[in-house]
Amino acid sequence: MKVVVDAMGSDQSPVAQVEGVLQALDQFPSLQVILAGPADLLETQLKSRGRDVGDRLSILNSAEVILPEEEPVRAIRQRKGSSMVQGLRRLARGEAQAVVSAGNTGALLAGGLFIAGRIRGVRRPALATVLPTLDQNGTLFLDLGASVDSRADDLVQHALMGAVYAREILGRRIPRVGLLNVGTEDQKGNLLVRDAHVLLKELDRVDMEFVGNLEARDIFSGEHDVIVSEGFVGNVALKVIEGTAKTLMEMLRSEIGTSWRYKLGGLVLRPAVRGVYSRMDYTEYGGAPLLGLREIVIKCHGSSNGRAFFNGIRQALFMAERRVPERIASYLERGAACE
């Protein structure tokens, strides 16, 4: 199994990528990695670690870098020598089975569409992530903003794609799919969500179950294997989780600073608090798969550390092993034929 890791474009590039890659090569004997980035930089990094990974690691020299703030479509068109574009081309040519990147999200999406290509019949790909739940099983949440102004039938496709992921990667035999809404009653919501609700109810699949609307306060309840949201809303929801967790932790830190008793208690509890915070932390959940493409593309967070890249690579391996894109394609086709 060969995975391209884009070594550039993130906060801790390329140190975090190199760390994650070396960990993954240690853990998975069948893994081969193509590390894309400026060869001299990467070679220095690898040499300084003095690790021998034999012929399982190769470098794809690419001098250009796509910056986080660049306009995505233009960046993909103009920076053909970038690690991202070079990596995606390897993927498209079948020389690798997945790309893992923490670079510009819009560019990765645009590049995924133009270079790797969409699954036939997919209008809008979706970016998904696994949210932590109280029962520790996790819920697949999509779309995180790969699309905005989606249509109701896009949301239905996202539900189907999410169900395949939940089945193949999260091991849910008959995934329970919920629709994010402002209330649980069937007729609640805006025009888009009301339409999507009707279409999802009409779906007749034995291997997934549409369980109706859910409110945003229940996304961590563990009652759903897949939660479908329109992309703009999903993007806001994900960032609210991040902002709330960070704000609570900062408030707690400043509260603890106000008395020596608290400081003592804080010292004792620190590992517990860190443990909880890390459960809300993206680095533990690998990256966000871009579902609806013909190939496996995984977006890691821009501030990913080595651990996050390790998890992203592992996720890419599992998706390749379970042939997720192919299964999505056939699951969607089956839908088209049935309906």
The site for its own copies (CB under 8 A) is made up of 69, 132, 134, 145, 148-149, 180, 182, 185, 189-191, 193, 215-220, 229, 232-233, 235-248, 250-252, 255-256, 258, 261-262, 264-269, 272-273, 275-277, 279-280
Rounded least distance, CB 316 to its own copies, Å: 25
First to last CA, the chain: 36
Closer to its own copies by Cβ: residue 51 or 240: 240
**Nearest distance in Å: CB 107, its own copies:** 13
CB of 181 vs its own copies, minimal distance in Å: 8
State the minimum distance, in angstroms, from the CB of residue 230 to its own copies: 9
CB of 8 to its own copies, least distance (A): 21
Minimum gap (Å) between residue 216 Cβ and its own copies: 4
Quote the CA–CA distance of 137 and 135 in Å, as a whole number: 6
Tell me how far, at minimum, the Cβ of 106 lies from its own copies, in Å.
9
Residue 142 or 219: the one with the smaller Cβ distance to its own copies is: 219
178 in Cβ contact with 189 (< 8 Å)? no
Distance CA 271, CA 268 (A): 8
335 CB contacts (<8 Å, ≥6 apart)? 160, 203, 205
Closer CB to its own copies, residue 272 or residue 338? 272
Rounded Cα distance, 280 and 312, in Å: 16
* Rounded Cα distance, 245 and 274, in Å: 11
Shorter beta-carbon distance to its own copies: residue 5 or 109: 109
Cβ distance to its own copies smaller for residue 17 or 147: 147
Which CB atom, from 62 or from 129, has the smaller least distance to its own copies?
129
Tokens at residue 123, please? 């209008």
CB of 319 closer than 8 Å to CB of 142: no
Please, which residue, 52 or 69, has the CB nearer to its own copies? Answer: 69
In Å, how far are 40, 208, 212, 289 from 160, measured between CA atoms? Answer: 44, 8, 14, 15
Question: Using alpha carbons only, how large is the chain's radius of gyration in Å?
Answer: 21
32, β-bridge pairs? 2
Q: DSSP assignment, residue 56?
A: G
By C-alpha distance, which of 7, 2, 229 is closest to 127? Answer: 229
Helices and strands (H and E) in the chain: how many: 11, 11
